Amino acid sequence: MNNFENVKVYAEKLGAKAQFNVPMKTMTTFKIGGNAGVYIEVETKIQLSSLIKYFNENDVDYIVIGKGSNIVVNDNGIDKAVIKLKGEFLNVSMLDNETLYCGAGLSLAGLCKEAESKCFSGLEFAWGIPGSVGGAAFMNAGAYGGEMKDVIYSVTHIDKNGKLGTIKSADLKLGYRHSVYKENGFTIIGVTLKLKHDSQNSIRARMDDYMGRRKDKQPLEFPSAGSVFRRPEGNYAGALIEKCGLKGKSVGGAQVSPKHAGFIVNTGNATAQDVKDLVELIQTTVKKETGYDLKREIIYLD
């Protein structure tokens, strides 16, 4: 049973910052959601390890969030401790002339800039993907023919007992929007990446090219959670949704983007329920008219 008063006291004893009444809409790219049960910012592995062990020993529900780019939070909030990675989890260090270690809390954009500055190539595909490094490893994020599995050497985590561990790439079960961390419940704290050298100008040119394509095709001007659905075998979610005449369809403040039907955007006052209702409408319509079952890529937090 969650006792967030005790959680807050324990977190503060560890030196972590803990608060009540923090709206999750300020923590997500969709700009939707009620308050966290308790919101905690951790800066060190020791703090995080101690908290995770405490949570599991005391049956406290918790979630670690990155940039909140793939989640839809309930309008009434979530009865969980929400952990945000700060401090050392934002650091990048060069291990050798082709390997970087990056904290899980850093944004993918920040990692791409660091790699470019060191003339490391291999992450250009990730330039413009919203989200954190940890989230990208968790979901095996990808775009434009590249995926995190192409560059991940290993992932470091904290298990449910608060113990540090590392899993090498061969054992990460990296597939389409999947990793072993979707199965084991461990918390990713850092990623080691094996990259290649190239000229900074060439790296920057590729990054600019991918960003140009994103701006041209994706509704970056509105809050969203990125692609809503997984890619169905043999087709594309956006194409199926458009084929069914749902491009531009709205439920409340949630709208199927007129720019890219694979995105649902918040036009200003969308609720989580608006998004869920629109997702259900899309799934029902696409199934009826095309036979395809669209599976959600976005995660509901209730």
Does one domain contain both 130 and 34? no
Tell me the per-residue pLDDT of 160-182, one tens digit each, with 9 for 90 and over: 999 999 999 999 999 999 999 99
Of 207, 241, 269, the residue at which a domain comes to its end is 207
Does one domain contain both 111 and 198? yes
Q: Is residue 52 part of a domain?
A: yes
Of 58, 87, 116, the residue at which a domain comes to its end is 87
Does one domain contain both 108 and 81? no
Nearest to 120 by CA among 101, 141, 139: 101
**Residue 234: how many CB atoms within 10 A of its CB?**
6
CATH code where residue 25 lies: 3.30.43.10
Task: Let me know: does 75 contact 32? Beta carbons within 8 Å.
Answer: yes
Assign 189 to helix, strand or coil.
strand
Rounded to 10 deg, the angle between the 108-117 and 200-217 helix axes is 150
Assign 137 to helix, strand or coil.
helix
Residue 283, pLDDT above cutoff 60: yes
The pLDDT value given to residue 97: 87
CATH code where residue 261 lies: 3.90.78.10
Tell me the per-residue pLDDT of 199-250, one tens digit each, with 9 for 90 and over: 999 999 999 999 999 999 999 999 999 899 999 999 999 999 999 999 999 9
Q: How confident is the model at residue 133 (pLDDT cuts 50, 70, 90)?
A: very high
Does one domain contain both 102 and 74? no
Does one domain contain both 14 and 80? yes
Residue ranges making up the domain that contains 187: 91-207
Residue with tokens 């997702």: 279
* Active-site option among 154, 177, 224, 257: 177
Residue 127, pLDDT above cutoff 90: yes
Tell me the per-residue pLDDT of 36-90, one tens digit each, with 9 for 90 and over: 999 999 999 999 999 999 999 999 999 999 888 899 999 999 999 999 999 999 9
Of 53, 87, 121, the residue at which a domain comes to its end is 87
**Residue 224: how many CB atoms within 10 A of its CB?**
26
Tell me the per-residue pLDDT of 23-36, one tens digit each, with 9 for 90 and over: 999 999 999 999 99
Q: Is residue 130 part of a domain?
A: yes
Q: Is residue 213 part of a domain?
A: no
Residue 297 falls in the annotated catalytic set: yes
Residue 177 falls in the annotated catalytic set: yes
Question: Distance between CA 154 and CA 256 in Å, rounded?
Answer: 37
Strands (E) in the chain, as ranges, are 17-19, 36-42, 62-65, 71-73, 78-85, 92-96, 99-103, 120-121, 142-143, 146-147, 152-158, 164-168, 187-194, 196-197, 224-227, 250-251, 254-256, 263-266, 299-301
Residue 296 falls in the annotated catalytic set: no
* Active-site option among 69, 224, 227, 257: 227
The pLDDT value given to residue 66: 87
Average pLDDT over residues 182-191: 96
Q: Is residue 212 part of a domain?
A: no
Q: How many domains does the chain have?
A: 3
Share of the chain above pLDDT 70, in %: 100
Q: How confident is the model at residue 275 (pLDDT cuts 50, 70, 90)?
A: very high
Query: For residue 139, how many C-alpha atoms fall within 13 Å in the half-sphere facing its CB?
Result: 26
Does one domain contain both 104 and 72? no
Average pLDDT over residues 17-25: 95
Q: Is residue 273 part of a domain?
A: yes
Q: Is residue 260 part of a domain?
A: yes
Does one domain contain both 203 and 230? no
Q: How confident is the model at residue 1 (pLDDT cuts 50, 70, 90)?
A: low
Task: Let me know: does 272 contact 299? Beta carbons within 8 Å.
Answer: no
CA distances from residue 209 to 125, 132, 144, 282 in whole angstroms, order as listed: 10, 21, 11, 31
Does one domain contain both 96 and 188? yes
CATH code where residue 148 lies: 3.30.465.10
